[in-house]
Amino acid sequence: MGSVAAGAVRHPVVRRLSFVDAFLWAFRLAVVLVVVWGTVGTLRLGRYTGEQWVDFVVFGLAQGGIYALIALGYTMVYGILRMINFAHGEVFMSGAYTAYFVAAPLAASGFLNRHPILSLLLLVAVAAVVSTGVAVLVERVAYRPLRRAPRLVPLITAIGASFFLQYAFRGLYGSGFKAYPEFELFKGEWQVLGIGILRTQAVVLASAAVLMFALYQFVMRTKVGKAMRAVSEDKDAAALMGIDVDRIIVLTFAVGGAAAGAAGILYALVFKQVHFFMGFVPGIKAFTSAVLGGIGNIPGAMLGGLFLGVVESVGPALFLDGLGIVAPYQLKDVIAFTMLVMVLIFRPQGILGERLAAKRA
Amino acid sequence: MWRVGLVFGAVAWFVSLAGLVEALHARWVVDGVFSAGQALLVLLLAASGWVGARRSGATLAARLGAGTVAGATAGFCLGLLAWLGAHVNLRAMFINASPVLFELLLRGRPPESGWAANLLVGAALGLAGSLVGVAPAGLVRPLLAGLAGALGLGLFQDLVLLILQPEALTSVREWLFVAGGGPTVQGVLAAATASAAGAGLRPAVKTLAPGASLPPRAAQVVWSLVGVALLATLPVAGGPFVAQVLVIVGLYTLMGLGLNLEVGLAGLLDLGFVAFFAIGAYTVGLLTSTGEHGIAHWSFWAAVPVAVLVSLVAGVVLGIPVLGIRGDYLAIATLGFGEIVRLLVLSDALRPWLGGSQGVLAIPKPVVAGFELSGPQHLYYLTVVASAVVAYVAWRLQDSRLGRAWMAIREDEDVAEALGINLVSVKLLAYGLGAAFAGVGGAIFAVMVGSVFPHSFQLLISIQVLALIIVGGMGSIPGVLVGSAVLIGLPELLREFGEFRFLVYGAALVAMMLLRPEGLLPAAAQRRELHAEVEAEPQSAQLAAGTATEGR
């Protein structure tokens, strides 16, 4: 579409489209103007020091690493089933929330600060196991019976499952915020190349990087990973090659769930509290990351997560402060959601994207 | 069959630990004897027997045996929970693992023997459930109706008591209910007998006297007259509380009718729908408020058309960017828009105009010919009239050229476009009209509450509206009414239930899609499709019914 010759033949269609196109161009232009105007304004004001910008970026990277880990679950499931696992944010929440009940007694007994690394590994393991269990359960109950249903149906069950899980955990663990115990070891700053970096953020970023690397190796190097990629290429052909497709789908949910559970602990390290509703916004943002990187594309999801984390962290100061907007940090999520909407509208195949968007219809 | 029992045992653990059992324990089904919480567990155990019996061998003995084993296994699980509760402090983790729960599970026995008691009760109930599973339908239907009647009297005792409020009915009230408590034994028996007799006699009446029923046309007139009379008198008879519930049901019906155009007819899953409700409410708020954020001090009647128009324009404007997006991406994009609208309204940046988290206050009530529509009993009539008008418009739209175009794009966008349907205008009309309907609801909401806050417009509202459409039946206008009555009205009447409402919504969405994807009152087109499917594939009808109808 869009070539002049085709336009001349289908004249009326092009005329109708042009009004929509004009609107979309105005939308793009408005966003670009806000970004440019705001950036120029902020830089002229010079309210932030270089050190603050570095802080923003590091915080954004740490947060982005968490998004990226969650996004892996979205992207792997989408790659295989072509469906959005709307309940993935709740899978993330379930692990972190359950692990709190391990972390609290560990902290009370002093074990947490005597063996911080061991405790952290234990918490990650607990969260990963719980999240995996929840993810597999959701797949079994809500998605598997609907494998051949029209597209809207599994999406609706996914929304239902998401709300069910939120309120199930609210019923089980209560509706209040739970303060996660802090690690003494991770308090304070480390000096890296003369820049002070909060230890928590460094730990989170490093753990996320290690986990992502491990996961990538798992998908690219192991036999199961190969089977996963085969199923996402073509389910029927994979079945003909002797791959048990159902088993691979369950494994995909399990691996995505484990990554989300680990991400939950990292999130608790950064934000120091858990809540039954904590999965919703990170879930949406991780989905945004997955789409940004081209859904179905694993390295893309990692890049998308880091990119979104940084934009969201730098954005309020860089774009909005310069416009003279009061309390720009309240609009942090607006930046993330705007990116989500814009990616879906203008580049559904993502930045690195395979052209899945065209195949989907 | 013990696996069925384990699944039901896990469900029983969940409802116990999530607090559902204890919450329902506060309501008597038979005063002082049997609570709704116990009823829930009993039903679960019996259901395990029922499923166990249906899943197993052909002979009667095998089925009954399987049901008993399943029930015993589920009962064993409950006993295990009670034992654990007595020996471990589960409350450190599960906030609802209270002494009341374990008292209920053990009924005063020590945990060791309570375990055996639970197992035996489970086996007995499993056997009972499997008996229901193998009994002929003519027997089962009255039995289940009787059970439902008995439970219904207990669960909806507030409503029944409200109806029995008048002086003349005091003796009936005292016969049915213990003063200040639940239903009496004779009351429950009467309710059960009445419902069982009703269900048992219905087929008999139909076969004995086929001519006794009215011709369909006359029946329609009679039923609609009864409906109108009920609608007109209900809030007067029921008092302000019932009226309030009905107004809320009406508001959700308005939103449901709007979203039904988008999701049900046009197949455009919109998760940001609450934004248009908010826009309608804020428009009325800003135009009529006498407080600091009011800009025009208009009357409600002048503001409503503007609110509807603003919502419609907002629907179109937010619809244009998402024209090219389909299916699940559309759902997420609209969710994004809905959240952006809410966050912007909530932000301090727009506070001078929209009031931030404080909202817009001091919205005056509407006035008709010098008479102020103040309480819910007055606003109820406004809601009913608005819902009726909107339902009429929706009904006329449904079978119009536009409605058929919507259904065509729901089935297949590419084919619809090839048939000459202008996707752009048809989709934008769906967004715009759906948003306008929600705007009407928002306008009434603003005057009902007297103020508008961003916190009233959470994503949860969109999900609730979606849930009521799905439960009622996608694309069906009576379905919207049924859906909002069932999902919005009933939980309001069951107050203990309040905090579990969303849990049930989530479960309802999943269960409906798995078991009855066409909804409680399906639209004609959907029903036809499902029938064709069932005929074509009788053996897999159980699970596949409807899920595969539109296959890819």
Q: What is the interface pTM, i.e. ipTM, of the complex?
A: 0.83
Residues of B in contact with A361 (CB under 8 A): 326, 413-414
Residues of A in contact with B321 (CB under 8 A): 23-24, 27, 341, 345
Low-confidence ranges of chain B (pLDDT < 50): 534-552
| Weakest mean pLDDT among A278-282, A355-359, B144-148, B495-499 | A355-359
Q: Give residues 306 to 325 of A whose Cβ lies within 8 Å of B.
A: 325
Chain Cα centroid distance, residue A285 = 5
Interface check for A142 against chain B (CB to CB < 8 A): the answer is yes
Residue B527's pLDDT is 63
Give, for B34, the enclosing helix (H) or strand (E). strand B34-35
Average pLDDT (A334-348) is 86
Q: Give residues 323 to 342 of A whose Cβ lies within 8 Å of B.
A: 325-328, 330-331, 333-334, 337-338, 340-341
Residue B306's pLDDT is 92
CA distance A192 to chain B (A): 36
Question: Which of B111, B40, B31 shows the shortest CA–CA distance to B74?
Answer: B40
Q: Give the percent of chain B with pLDDT over 90.
A: 10
CA distance B492 to chain A (A): 18
Q: Give residues 115 to 144 of B whose Cβ lies within 8 Å of A.
A: none
Residues B159-173 as b or e (16 or more Cβ within 10 Å = b): bbeeebeeeeeeeeb
B137-162, pLDDT tens digit by residue?
A: 778 888 888 888 888 888 878 778 77
Q: Give residues 185 to 244 of B whose Cβ lies within 8 Å of A.
A: none
Contact B328 A172 (CB under 8 A): no
Distance CA(B433)–CA(B498), nearest Å, equals 32
Q: What is the DSSP letter of B296?
A: S
Residues B182-201 as b or e (16 or more Cβ within 10 Å = b): bbbeebbebbbeebbeebbe
Distance CA(B53)–CA(B49), nearest Å, equals 6
A150 and B544 Cβ atoms separated by less than 8 Å: no
Residue B535's pLDDT is 44
Interface check for A140 against chain B (CB to CB < 8 A): the answer is no
CA distance A167 to chain B (A): 5
A283-324, pLDDT tens digit by residue?
A: 889 988 888 888 878 888 889 999 999 998 888 878 777 777
Residue range A51-360, CATH number: 1.10.3470
Q: Give residues 310 to 369 of B whose Cβ lies within 8 Å of A.
A: 320-329, 331-333, 335-337, 339-340, 343-344, 346-349, 351
Contact B95 A325 (CB under 8 A): no
A38-85, pLDDT tens digit by residue?
A: 888 888 877 777 778 888 888 899 889 999 989 988 888 888 888 888
Residue A361's pLDDT is 35
CA distance A150 to chain B (A): 6
A303-313, pLDDT tens digit by residue?
A: 999 999 999 88
Q: Which two tokens stand for residue B52?
A: 């166990």
Which residues are B34's β-sheet partners?
Answer: B30
Residue B540's pLDDT is 41
User: Taking all residues of chain A, what is their mean pLDDT, rounded to a whole number?
Assistant: 83
Please give the model's pTM, rounded to 2 decimal places: 0.84
Residue B524's pLDDT is 67
Q: Is a pLDDT exceeding 50 seen at residue A5?
A: no
- Comparing alpha-carbon positions, the chain A residue that sits nearest to B516 is A153
Q: Give residues 78 to 137 of A whose Cβ lies within 8 Å of B.
A: 83-84, 101
Residue B223's pLDDT is 82
Q: Give residues 467 to 496 of B whose Cβ lies within 8 Å of A.
A: 467, 470
User: Please, what is the angle between helix B111-134 and helix B99-106, to 10°?
Assistant: 70
Chain Cα centroid distance, residue A31 = 23
B160-216, pLDDT tens digit by residue?
A: 877 777 777 788 888 888 877 778 888 888 888 888 888 777 766 666 655 555 667
Phi and psi torsions of A185, nearest 5°: -60, -30
CA distance B316 to chain A (A): 11
Contact A141 B543 (CB under 8 A): no
Contact B321 A83 (CB under 8 A): no
User: Which of A142, A159, A172 shows the shortest C-beta gap to B94?
Assistant: A172
List the single best residue of A156, A277, A289, A292 to mutate versus B (max B Cβ within 10 A): A156
Q: Who contacts B375 (Cβ-Cβ below 8 Å, separation ≥6)? A: B240, B243
CA distance A227 to chain B (A): 24
Q: Which two tokens stand for residue A250?
A: 């369950």
B360 and A63 Cβ atoms separated by less than 8 Å: no
Q: Which amino acid is at A245?
A: V
Residues of B in contact with A331 (CB under 8 A): 343-344, 347, 349
Q: Give the percent of chain A with pLDDT over 70.
A: 92
Distance CA(B123)–CA(B117), nearest Å, equals 10
Contact A17 B424 (CB under 8 A): yes
User: Which of A101, A150, A344 shows the shortest C-beta gap to B333?
Assistant: A344
- Comparing alpha-carbon positions, the chain B residue that sits nearest to A82 is B328
Q: Is a pLDDT exceeding 60 seen at residue A11?
A: no
A294 and A353 Cβ atoms separated by less than 8 Å: yes
Report how many helices (DSSP H) and strands (DSSP E) chain A contains, helices first: 15, 4
Q: Which two tokens stand for residue B171?
A: 């003796």
- Comparing alpha-carbon positions, the chain B residue that sits nearest to A15 is B424
C-alpha to C-alpha distances, B522 to A216, B470, B530, nearest whole angstrom: 46, 9, 10
Q: What is the DSSP letter of B323?
A: T
Q: Is a pLDDT exceeding 80 seen at residue A36?
A: yes
Interface check for A160 against chain B (CB to CB < 8 A): the answer is yes
Residues of A in contact with B413 (CB under 8 A): 361
A179-234, pLDDT tens digit by residue?
A: 888 887 777 777 777 777 788 888 888 888 898 889 889 988 999 989 988 888 88
* Domain range annotation of chain A: 1-46, 51-360
B403-445, pLDDT tens digit by residue?
A: 999 989 888 888 988 988 888 889 999 999 999 999 999 999 9
